[in-house]
Amino acid sequence: MALESFVTGWYPAQTETRPTTIAIPGSVPYALADFYRLAEKRPAILGGQNSIQPLTRLSTDIHGERLVVAIENQGCWDWSIPWQLDAAGTDPDVWLTEDDAPVREEEPLILQCDFVI
């Protein structure tokens, strides 16, 4: 996977030796789950100002329809995907919500994960 090659080559892993503790819920599609597995040892890939939500802070939008996965630092926009209980095998559309008006992005989640960094 291109994302994994880039991340492991560009971002150093944390040197702490601890067992993997990440438990990915079934509502997280596989591309995003892979991203979170990489972020466990390289948290810098989550971003700073505009960032990918840590796995522990994932939540749905106010309507409970989409899972908010990234936010802008002032709360003006977010990226989300349709929220489904068993989404692990899906490659959902990504939605940009700005001023409560969601617009579908051109690329699905897999391509978004490859270009997010």
* Nearest by Cα to 24 from 92, 86, 117, 97: 86
Return the number of other C-beta atoms located less than 10 Å from residue 80's C-beta.
Answer: 23
Q: In this predicted structure, what is the pLDDT of residue 106?
A: 87
Tell me the residue range of the domain where 45 lies.
2-115
**What's the whole-number mean pLDDT along residues 98-103?**
84
The number of distinct structural domains making up the chain is 1
Region 97-114 average pLDDT: 77
**Could you tell me which residue, 24 or 12, shows the higher pLDDT?**
24
Average pLDDT over residues 20-26: 75
Nearest to 46 by CA among 62, 64, 32, 67: 32
Instruction: Output the pTM of the full model.
Output: 0.76
